[in-house]
Amino acid sequence: MSRPRPSIVLLASFGVALLAAGAAASAQERIGAVSTTFRWVGPNDKVVIDRYDDPKVENAACYVSRAETGGIGGAVGLSEDPSRFSIACRAVGPLRMIGKIDESKDGEVVFSERTSAVFKAMQVTRFLDKTKNVLVYVVTSTKVIEGSPFNSISVVPLNQ
């Protein structure tokens, strides 16, 4: 009986790890999608709308729209999605803090989702503006070498 070569085992392990990381960081709910570019092979390019619930603020929901690349690369998760986003966060009921909110000027990453196979992610960071008593959410792109200046913010008042 022959044993698998270490390079094949390593490659397979890396692939499984990538799939698991992508699944763990996915949106809480896909609300919908609009096709933007027809692709002959693989899924079309589209703008997707995902909902993320803030894990530390009950009834705070953020809706993020972003471009998702289709084609063969997009179908297998190898394409890099563009770094352009829009975010709208709302109180969808009475807000209740269910965790300690980071009050630092660096904020706290509350959601993250990969937008390429390895090196790029979209993330939403929450800031607390104590003076105005609001939560400020900003969506940005992170990249190992260079992030993107494209961003969008949304504000949720804490007193309803």
Question: Is 1 a domain residue?
Answer: no
Backbone angles phi, psi at 108, to 5 degrees: -140, 125
> Helix, strand, or coil here: 154?
strand
Query: What is the DSSP code (8-state) at residue 103?
Result: -
132 assigned to some structural domain: yes
Residue 67 is predicted with a pLDDT of: 79
Residue-number span of the structural domain to which 37 is assigned: 6-157
pLDDT tens across 56-102, in order? 999 999 999 887 766 666 565 656 656 678 899 999 999 999 989 99
Q: What are phi and psi of 67, to 5 degrees?
A: -80, 140
Residue 116 pLDDT more than 80? no
Answer whether residue 29 is part of any domain.
yes
Whether the full predicted model's pTM is greater than 0.85, yes or no, is no
Q: Considering only CA atoms, which of 89, 79, 100, 68 is closest in space to residue 139?
A: 89
All residues at 6 or more sequence positions from 128 whose CB lies less than 8 Å from its CB, including other chains: 101, 102, 103, 134, 135, 136
% of the chain beyond a pLDDT of 70? 64
